Amino acid sequence: MMNKEELDEIDRSILNELMQDANTAYVDIAKNIHVSAGTVHVRMKKMMRMGIVKKAFLNVDYGKLGYDISAFLGIYLEKSSMYPHVINALYKIPEVVNANFTTGNYSILVKIICRNSEDLKRVLYENIQNIEGIQRIESFISLEESIHRTIKITDPQA
């Protein structure tokens, strides 16, 4: 696997352009960073092969689609060894959009998106709380996501 030191300025420029707008055409990126479109294409294939770029996602306003509740769940596990089992079970719940193994009070921090409070209640009580290995859950409803952005990829030597 490629390490971050093997990325050059062209690779970082391509990543930064696409992280600002994943719809940017390779031709436009090439013009912006003064290389050929073929170079952008080859570099992107290389970064995908090496696992640096995994997937492209749309940034969707779920509220406009009728999904009015985002919540974060702090999950306490009975034992840390239950993590793989719990993650596999969480993965099968469509409303779970993000899960992180964490340090601190919680074993896992999860983000879920639901249509309404009834949907949230169903996901919590019928799905998540029935997963073997979960000791308890603390939930936090998000009132607003104020910041959602990517970071600028810089040269680690700079």
At residue 10, does pLDDT exceed 80? yes
118-155 pLDDT, tens digit each: 999 999 999 999 999 999 999 999 999 999 888 998 88
19-75 pLDDT, tens digit each: 999 999 999 999 999 999 999 999 999 999 989 999 888 889 999 999 999 999 999
Q: How far is CA 53 from CA 3, 61, 141, 148, in A?
A: 13, 23, 31, 19
CA–CA separation, 152 and 154 (whole Å): 6
Looking at residue 75, its pLDDT comes to 98
142-158 CB burial, b ≥16 within 10 A, e <16: eeeeeeeeeeebeeeee
The better pLDDT of the pair 4, 94 is held by: 94
Looking at residue 19, its pLDDT comes to 92
At residue 2, does pLDDT exceed 80? no
Q: How many CB atoms lie within 10 A of CB 128?
A: 22
Task: Report whether 41 contacts 30 (CB < 8 A).
Answer: no
Structure pTM?
0.82
* Average pLDDT score over residue span 96-117: 96
Looking at residue 103, its pLDDT comes to 93
CA–CA separation, 94 and 107 (whole Å): 20
Structural domains for the chain = 4-49 (1.10.10.10), 62-142 (3.30.70.920)
Task: Report whether 21 contacts 29 (CB < 8 A).
Answer: no
- From the number of C-beta atoms within 10 Å of its C-beta (0-12, 13-18, 19+), residue 32 rates as middle
At residue 4, does pLDDT exceed 70? no
Looking at residue 1, its pLDDT comes to 43
User: Where residue 3 falls among pLDDT bands split at 50, 70, 90?
Assistant: low
